[in-house]
Structure 1
Amino acid sequence: MAAAALLSAAFVLIENRTAEPLTPLRLATRGTLARVLPAVTLVAAAMFSVLFLLAQYFQEVRGFSPVEAGLAFLPLMATQFTVARLSPSLVRRFGSAWPSAVGVALVAVGLAWLGRLGRHDAYAAGVLGPLLLIGAGIGVSMPTMNTYGMSGIDPRESGAASGLVQTMQWIGGTLGLAVWVTVFGAATRDPSPGESPEHLLTHGIATAFAAAAACAAVAFVASLAVFRRRP
């Protein structure tokens, strides 16, 4: 972490001084891309919790095999890719702002729903609904925010801008997952006498989902930057 801090500072210093920067830093501070980067980063941070924590829940609490756990994620992925194919039509009809904000709100609601996850919840009642909401939210919000962010970029800098978006998504997801695992650890540190391991794991996972939902709520607030006041 210390080395990362030093290298990041060096990167910013060099990029500010060089005539042909690898990543023009003004892209992250001005224009359409700067308006969506916070929301994109926070949504990615919240989203990573689903892939990691639900895998633990499926296998360690519900006893799913790895194949069964993978199949349990299919509704999320199918919904995400289906809605993503519809996002261009939504942008043409409603613009970028409404689909982006509504999509992030769906992610927040889905994560809050998972924050109430119980040990004995049936898949259809406790997990399927949140997966569909989160899949639809990611499918509509990420493409529309990317479209809006890239709309004000000089074509000569589109590669750098696209790379910056992808980088922020992975940074957000990686740091977010570290936070959710830390929340999970704190929630399971002091088990009650006689509490079963499955109940303890479920409590920790649900607590981490609640924290991720709060992150998604902040992402929703950040996504409102896509709305622009009329002159």
Structure 2
Amino acid sequence: MNKTKRIILTIIIACQLMVVLDSAIMVTALPEIGRTLHITTANLTWVQNAYILAFGGLLLLGARAGDILGRRRMFSVGIALFTLASILVGFAQSAEFLLITRAFQGLAAAIATPSTLALLAVTFVEAKERTKAIALFSAVSGAGGSIGLILGGILTDLISWRVGMFLNVPIGIAMLIMVPRYLPETEKNTGHFDLMGALTSVIGITALVFGFIQAAANGWGKLETLLALSIGVVLLVAFVFIEARAKQPITPLRLFSSRKRSGAYLGRFLFLCGNFSLFFFVPQFLQNVLDFTSFESGLAFLPFTGVMFGMMYLMPWLITRFGNLKVLIAGLIIAIIGTSWLSQISADSQFFPQIFIPLLIMGMGAGMVFLPFTSFGLSDVDSRDSGAASGLINVAQQTGSSLGLAVLITVFEAVNRSAVPSKQHFAHAISVSIMGSAVFITVSLVVVLVWFLPARKAVQVAARNAA
């Protein structure tokens, strides 16, 4: 890998790290944000979801903008807007302003992020180089969240959660200086924006998440809950019909014609439904049950982070030795074991070993799944669809994170409000919610087995017949 390629990879990884860190830094600070801005536990999820929904919902439109207007140009615009939005979030003085500016951050991330994997794909063509580049990118996507938790805890305790947002400013400025010098501009394509597709998808997912959170706060029988869920389902069905008929859809349905790619998108979505939710519930448990400070709860994720980074160096060898599919299946099984163990926590649990060891196991499992999922999601993609395929990988990640958290906060509230408030009942509600995370990851494993194994057997049969 030459110097120019290393710099391009550094820029791409810096963008991904900034986006992932931004989301994770807020997680450790959520209890403090809730106290200072008077936000309930259920409504605290909107601090994350306002960002994630705008990000995930508009990613495909951002990918399309990169195809039409140039990926380097849209990358620069997205970074500039993200830097500005970070300043605004840091100065937020009310819950309403915080949520609006978090959504603005999500919009900016949706403009910048789709270009990262697309630029990576066109820069690293040789198989060995691409595997290494994707491994680093995947490690940042996964472990960056844990780093954000630690950093957020340190900043919240020692200074303020707002400082975490201001950290994006010098990084953003540095990237804006480097991008014109090192990133190549991609060929621009003629076309138009699929605005109806973008609107139905983002509003549909937002309505579903809102419906689940309303169910958590007010119950399933309320009119606003049923109405939000119904609108979400209708709009997402409309989205599929629109994409099937659009001349230039933001989500070409032909991307799902590959069993391998569609399985990777769905499996990644389900894995994030379970995995991301842990980053919300574990800090809540540590701070509200074990009386950890924000700093201590951030440090508690060091086992997860350390193992995940270690897996980054092992993954190229594991993939070469065993192949993507075997490594993916093993990683999911390990993640299920760690998450299920963690779900046994109670108010009497100690950090070591009841939390420390499961986090180690979960870090190992998570470190093994992101690279195979990314590789499968980009496999055999036509160059004209590279932006959309890259966008779909991030959409699966962001919508999975948001919808999974919305579903599990409903579980948490249903258990927690059924008893007299106490640390014991709060811990039990967290335990049940984490078991829900294990269920999501188990379903992800089932999807991988059902989608990938028949395709693998068919390839083996074809190879034998050809011989």
Would you say 1:119 and 2:347 are equivalent positions?
Answer: yes
Matching residue within 114, 130, 145 for 2:373: 145
Trace 1:153-172 onto structure 2 (pairs within 5 A): 153-172=381-400
Matches within 5 A, 1:1-231: 1=207, 2=228, 4-5=232-233, 7-191=235-419, 197-224=422-449, 225-227=451-453, 228-229=456-457, 230-231=460-461
Unaligned runs of 5+ residues in structure 1 are none
What amino acid sits opposite 2:422 in the alignment? P
CA 1:155 to 1:50, structure 2 compared with 1: closer, same or farther past 3 Å?
same
Relative to the length of structure 2, the TM-score reads 0.46
Unpaired segments ≥5 residues, structure 2: 1-206, 208-227, 462-467
**Pairwise CA RMSD of aligned residues?**
1.9
| Greater Cα radius of gyration, structure 1 or 2 | 2
How many angstroms does 1:7 deviate by? 4.7
Q: How far off its partner does 1:17 sit?
A: 2.3
Secondary structure of 2:374's match? helix
Give me the whole-angstrom Cα distance separating, in 2, the residues matched to 1:71 and 1:165. 29
Deviations 1:91-130 (A, max 9, x none): 1111111110111111111111011112222212111111
CA contact (8 A) 1:104 1:216 kept: yes
Matched residues, number? 228
For residues 119 and 83 of structure 1, do their structure 2 counterparts lie closer, same or farther at Cα, with a shift above 3 Å needed? same
CA distance in 2, matches of 1:29, 1:186: 39
CA distance in 1 between counterparts of 2:405 and 2:257 reads 25
State the alpha-carbon separation in 2 of the partners of residues 106 and 98 from structure 1: 12
Contact 1:117 1:126 (C-alpha < 8 Å) held by counterparts: yes
Q: Distance in 1 between matches of 2:395 and 2:265?
A: 10
Residue 143 of structure 1 deviates from its aligned partner by 1.0
Percent pairwise identity: 33
* 65-74 vs 54-63, greater mean Cα deviation: 65-74
Q: What TM-score, normalized by structure 1, do the two folds share? A: 0.91
Paired residues of 2:259 and 2:452 also in contact (CA < 8 A): no
Following the alignment from structure 1 to structure 2, what is the Cα–Cα distance between the partners of residues 22 and 105?
A: 34
2:45 maps to none
Contact 1:87–1:144 at 8 Å: present in 2 too?
no
Between the aligned partners of 1:25 and 1:171, the Cα distance in structure 2 is 18
Q: Which amino acid aligns with 1:226?
A: F
Q: CA deviation at 1:6?
A: 5.3
Change (3 A) 1:60 1:161: same
Contact 2:261-2:378 at 8 Å conserved across structures: yes
Partner deviation per Cα, 1:41-84 (whole Å, 9 max, x = no partner): 11000002210000101100011111111111122122223213
